[in-house]
Amino acid sequence: MSTAATASGPSVTSLFVRLKLSLVRNGLKGSSKRKAVWIASLVISLLFSLFVTLCLAMLHGHVHAGTVVVLLAAILALGWTVMPLLFPTGDETLDPSRLVMLPLRPRPLVRALLASSLIGTGPLFTLCIAAGSAAAVAHGAAGITAAVVGAPLLLLGCVTLARAVATANVRLLSSRKGRDLAVLSGLLIAIGAQVVNFASQSLFKQGGLTALEPVEAVVRWLPPATAVGMVDSASRGSYGVAAAQLALTLAALAGLLWFWERGLTSLMVTPDGSTLAAAKPEKDRGGAGGFWSLLPGGRTGAVMRRTLRYAVRDPKTKSAWVSSLAVGAIVPVFNALQGTGSVYLACFGAGMLGIQMYNQFGQDTSAFWMVAQTIASPRDAFGELRARAGALALVTVPYTLLVTVATAALVGDWAAFPAALGLALALLGSMLCTGALASAHFPYSIPTEGAFKNVAPGQAGLAWLGIVGGMVSSALICSPVIGLTVYVSLSDDPGTLGLLALPLGTAWGLLVTWAGLRLAAPTVFRKLPEILTAVSKG
């Protein structure tokens, strides 16, 4: 073997491309179901990509085609930037810290990672949208030439942007704070759905796309949307503007590559922050103070503190709480803003947080054995359940009051406010009642691994039975207050009768909560081993 051949060796880029293909191929081995799901998702992605490309191409010649495709390119770039931060486990190759021990230079590594990043359904979908967008606005020889250049530049810009941002935040993504960032995904998706709802309603009105033209005039100068703007400008004969947009696109791409290379260099020469933190002296955690000192003493205060700490620190519990808080407020408030809301929709928020009472012991996982050791009688079980319900009510009651006040203010229906608040509190009490019973009779394990796996295999039936059965039972338990509320809303004097509905609904909520805890406590005490077995499967 010659010395030259030995020195050259395989290029890093081709090696990384083969590694990416091997990762995809090896991920499908050993499971026919996984292979079937992957093939089905690939077929669906291809069909959807072709459909989107065809729809965009059909905009060719439309007066607002440029506005649509430029804004679509900007949204696409925003998605590429944000999604790796919200779902860091979606692509393991996003983590370049796995390569820091290898003798690789940053610049060849950037080329290799960029080439391997272009493999997958995401880049294919992006390329289809870029091709469809370019076809929608390309006219004449200059436009077609610009389209041939612009579509690949949009794809490269999106992929490079995602890689540069992910590399700059890779230490954050691998930390607990990074995992907590995924909690925001549910909130952003919920808000984004409402924004899309508002936007679609505005766009489908007559002249809706015209209102977006000022925004499009700015966005077409923001890379990498400038790649599509360049095609539109060249097709209109504005060659100077097209040249400026092409230069801006290339400059932004070069800047992103430089930023990415600098991030890789910093990552390779900087010690891991987690090891540095472990080497530091342990912090003096101190005793309970501040807000915690306001909690009652004894078992009740300790359990309430533990439950609230779970909601703040445990990723799964925090995700459930944040999603419930966000969706519970978004539905009534956004419906009120759209002019189709009702103050009674505020009950939706109480219902969303009431679901958190179900499967109280599942969040303890196998550590429930420590809780079980402290329960020596049904009275102890009642105290445990009462403290957990109290921690939930500590957040839910003021939250329900706030959402009801905001909804009433937006719809301007203060006369129905007392009845709506009374109904919401009665519904919350009913869900605390059925939640305690469901926790005793239908406990299930919440796996610690997997961001979107909330039930251990084989326990999905238990989870559905407890939640759905509990929600239906809650509606039945709350039916007297629902009937009273309907009577109040149909009466000639809803304001005066509503003042009576508020204390009655509050008292009903407290009564059924107490009854549910009393009924569930003996079952919890009797089934402690079964509950421990059920919640330890994760």
Comparing 213-217, 315-319, 440-444, the range with the smallest average pLDDT is 315-319
Indicate whether 206 pLDDT > 80: no
In this prediction, residue 87 carries a pLDDT of 57
**Alpha carbon distances (Å) from 3 to 6, 63, 103:** 5, 63, 20
CB atoms within 10 A of CB 208: 14
Among 85, 90, 82, residue whose Cα is nearest residue 117: 90
In this prediction, residue 4 carries a pLDDT of 43
Indicate whether 538 pLDDT > 80: no
Taken as a whole, the chain contains a residue count of 538
Q: For 383-393, what is each residue's pLDDT tens digit? A: 999 999 999 99
Query: What mean pLDDT is reported for the chain?
Result: 79
pLDDT band at 284 (very low <50, low <70, confident <90, very high): very low
Kindly state the DSSP code that residue 281 receives in the 8-state scheme. Answer: P
Residues 20 and 119: beta-carbon distance below 8 Å: yes
Which helix (H) or strand (E) segment is 349 a member of? helix 347-354
Highest mean pLDDT among 73-77, 83-87, 175-179, 210-214: 73-77
pLDDT band at 40 (very low <50, low <70, confident <90, very high): confident
Mean pLDDT for the stretch of residues 243-262: 91
Q: For 295-350, what is each residue's pLDDT tens digit? A: 887 888 888 888 888 888 777 787 778 778 877 888 788 778 777 778 888 888 88
Phi, psi (rounded to 5 degrees) for 159:
-65, -45
In this prediction, residue 250 carries a pLDDT of 93
Q: Alpha-carbon dihedral of residues 376, 378, 380, 384, nearest 10 degrees?
A: 130
Residues 428 and 357: beta-carbon distance below 8 Å: no
Comparing 3-12, 247-256, 426-435, 494-503, the range with the smallest average pLDDT is 3-12
Indicate whether 515 pLDDT > 60: yes
First-to-last C-alpha distance (Å) of the chain: 55
pLDDT band at 6 (very low <50, low <70, confident <90, very high): very low
In this prediction, residue 517 carries a pLDDT of 92
Token pair, residue 510, equals 């407290």
Of all residues in the chain, the percent with pLDDT exceeding 90 is: 13
Which helix (H) or strand (E) segment is 429 a member of? helix 417-441
Indicate whether 458 pLDDT > 90: no
**Alpha carbon distances (Å) from 166 to 19, 94, 103, 121, 308:** 20, 7, 22, 19, 32
Indicate whether 263 pLDDT > 70: yes
Of all residues in the chain, the percent with pLDDT exceeding 70 is: 78
Among 314, 308, 309, residue whose Cα is nearest residue 365: 314
Number of helical H runs and strand E runs in the chain:
24, 0
Highest mean pLDDT among 24-33, 55-64, 186-195, 265-274: 55-64
Alpha carbon distance 74, 58 (integer Å): 20
**Alpha carbon distances (Å) from 135 to 37, 57, 460:** 32, 5, 47
Alpha carbon distance 156, 200 (integer Å): 29
In this prediction, residue 530 carries a pLDDT of 87
pTM: 0.59
In this prediction, residue 325 carries a pLDDT of 83
Indicate whether 137 pLDDT > 90: no
- In terms of pLDDT, which residue wins out, 476 or 99? 476
